[in-house]
């Protein structure tokens, strides 16, 4: 079976086409700047040269059409007809409390995703556009949605409730949901395999450090706490997001600076984090470069980022009364040995001992970066959310066929 995986954002759409027989990626790519003056489609087929196409793509329906067209293109494509795509799996960031696992898309499921627009205004409307765009272009294909929140539905109320009036939870479902669950789930499985131990025997802290960043405490293979909350703003300092701040800063700043709700939201989501402190960039590569050139603000941004991450790791070790494995994943976690070294430097009291050589080695494989004697094992595990989405999609569609 061929499964197309789609991660639709507000102005971008990433895709991967899988052949599920061997779980191979046949093609992958992304459409960027949807709805802007010139959109860019980048398409890659393993072993062939990357294709870049600049044109006007005004909406997600057109974006999916372009993706389908290039997949069947005689020169750049990998399929002879579009009906070879038998199922489409979508990443959906917010599944609220309704979805504890992936599901086949039905009218009820779509209604529920719409109901959750309020809780993930940057993400869910874009995912819904992706789903509708597939309906328009591939009308007879089964669609599956895989939620970032699903893996975290095992958290106990002590972890997911906020100490605010309970009526807000009852009326509006204000609670911690957590995100990047597909990634935390995938890397914890991979880590257990690498260790050769069942998940039931290990306490893990998984650090997904990309553009968005979150930490999860995983006990017996289940998420027991995670740093993102009602929305993907809480927790760690990120590229452009503040992470944890005193909530009183919101009304105080609104008052002093005469900001509207949407302005303060934009300040915390898009103009904070590494970008705000460094004044340079939200990209960790540029921060590290700035540090090396002696830029004090870049150094401060890096130090704050590390300090806040280290505090979460300590907190989650306490939350689980122990820690056996620390995992780094996603763009920064997989690629920045500097970040990993700095985080671990302050965690020797826990029994973490990093192997400098192993930490510096570059590889696409899951690997140890701690010394043999390190009491807590430290791993780098490349994430693969798309593969988990493809697997869930395949499994659900197979099940539906047999039913």
Ligand X SMILES: CC(=O)OP(=O)(O)O
Ligand Y SMILES: Nc1ncnc2c1ncn2[C@@H]1O[C@H](COP(=O)(O)OP(=O)(O)O)[C@@H](O)[C@H]1O
Q: What angle do CA 276, 362, 376 make, to 5 degrees?
A: 80
Give me the 226-245 binding string for ligand X, x by CB under 6 A, dash otherwise.
------x-------------
Among 29, 95, 181, 212, binds ligand X (CB under 6 A): 212
CA-based Rg of the chain, rounded to a whole angstrom? 21
Compute the least distance from the CB of residue 121 to ligand X, in Å.
12
- Pairing label, strands 24-32, 13-19: antiparallel
User: Of the candidates 9, 210, 232, 243, which one interacts with Mg ion according to CB under 5 A?
Assistant: 210
107 Cβ contact partners less than 8 Å away, ≥ 6 residues apart: none
Q: Which stretch binds Mg ion (CB under 5 A): 29-37, 189-197, 203-211, 227-235?
A: 203-211
User: How far, CA to CA in Å, does 316 sit from each of 74, 305, 309?
Assistant: 52, 17, 11
Determine, following the binding rule CB under 6 A, whether residue 386 of this chain makes contact with ligand X: no
What is the Cα–Cα distance from 403 to 387, expressed in whole angstroms?
24
Q: Is 382 in the site for ligand X (CB under 6 A)?
A: no
| Spatial separation of the C-alpha atoms in residues 233 and 94, rounded to whole Å | 13
Catalytic residue among 37, 148, 303, 337: 148
Residue 273 touches Mg ion, criterion: CB under 5 A: no
Closest Cα partner for 377 from 116, 191, 173, 108?
Answer: 191
273: contact with ligand X by CB under 6 A: no
Q: How far is the CB of 241 from ligand X (least distance, A)?
A: 8
Tell whether 43 is in a known binding site: no
Q: Is 299 in the site for ligand X (CB under 6 A)?
A: no
60 is in an annotated binding site: no
Does the annotation list 340 as a binding residue?
no
148 included as an active-site residue: yes
CB neighbour list of residue 335: distance below 8 Å, 6 or more residues apart: none
CB 41 within 8 A of CB 55: yes
Name the site residues for ligand Y (rule: CB under 6 A): 210-212, 239, 283-285, 330-332, 335-336
**Residue 160 or residue 179: which is nearer to ligand Y going by CB?**
179
Q: At a CB cut-off of 8 Å and minimum separation 6, what does 373 contact?
A: 353
Query: Could you tell which of ligand Y, Mg ion, ligand X, none binds residue 284, using a CB distance below 5 to 8 A set by kind?
Result: ligand Y
Catalytic residues: 148
Q: Extract the annotated binding site for ATP.
A: 14, 208-212, 283-285, 331-335
């Amino acid at each position: 079976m061929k499964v197309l995986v789609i991660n639709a954002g507000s102005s971008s759409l990433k895709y991967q086409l899988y052949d599920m027989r061997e779980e191979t990626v046949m093609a992958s790519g992304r459409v960027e700047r949807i709805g802007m003056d010139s959109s860019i489609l980048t398409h890659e087929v393993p072993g062939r040269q990357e294709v870049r196409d600049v044109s006007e793509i005004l909406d997600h329906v057109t974006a999916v059409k372009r993706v389908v067209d290039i997949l069947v293109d005689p020169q750049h494509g990998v399929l002879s007809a579009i009906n070879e795509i038998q199922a489409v799996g979508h990443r959906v960031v917010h599944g609220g409390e309704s979805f504890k696992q992936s599901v086949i898309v039905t009218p009820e499921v779509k209604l529920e995703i719409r109901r959750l627009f309020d809780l993930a205004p940057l993400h869910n409307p874009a995912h819904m556009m992706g789903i509708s765009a597939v309906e328009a272009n591939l009308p007879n294909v089964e669609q599956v949605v895989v939620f970032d929140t699903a893996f975290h539905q095992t958290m106990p109320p002590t972890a997911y409730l906020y100490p605010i009036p309970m009526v807000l939870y009852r009326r509006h479902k204000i609670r911690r949901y957590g995100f990047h669950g597909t990634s935390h789930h995938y890397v914890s499985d991979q880590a257990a395999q690498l260790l050769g131990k069942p998940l039931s025997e290990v306490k893990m802290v998984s650090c997904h450090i990309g553009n968005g960043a979150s930490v999860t405490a995983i006990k017996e293979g289940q998420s027991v706490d995670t740093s993102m909350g009602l929305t993907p703003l809480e927790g760690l300092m990120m590229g452009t997001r503040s992470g944890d701040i005193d909530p009183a800063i919101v009304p105080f700043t609104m008052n002093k600076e005469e900001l509207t709700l949407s302005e303060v939201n934009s300040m915390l989501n898009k103009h904070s984090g590494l970008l705000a402190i460094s004044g340079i960039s939200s990209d960790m590569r540029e921060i590290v470069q700035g540090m090396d050139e002696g830029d004090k603000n870049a150094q401060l941004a890096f130090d704050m980022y590390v300090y806040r991450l280290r505090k979460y790791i300590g907190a989650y070790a306490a939350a689980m009364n122990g820690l056996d494995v620390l995992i780094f994943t996603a763009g920064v976690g997989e690629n920045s040995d500097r970040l990993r070294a700095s985080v671990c430097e302050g965690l020797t009291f826990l029994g973490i001992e990093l192997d400098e050589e192993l930490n510096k080695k570059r590889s696409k494989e899951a690997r140890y970066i701690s010394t043999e004697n390190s009491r807590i094992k430290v791993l780098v595990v490349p994430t693969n959310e798309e593969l988990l989405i493809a697997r869930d999609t395949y499994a659900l569609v197979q099940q539906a066929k047999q039913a």
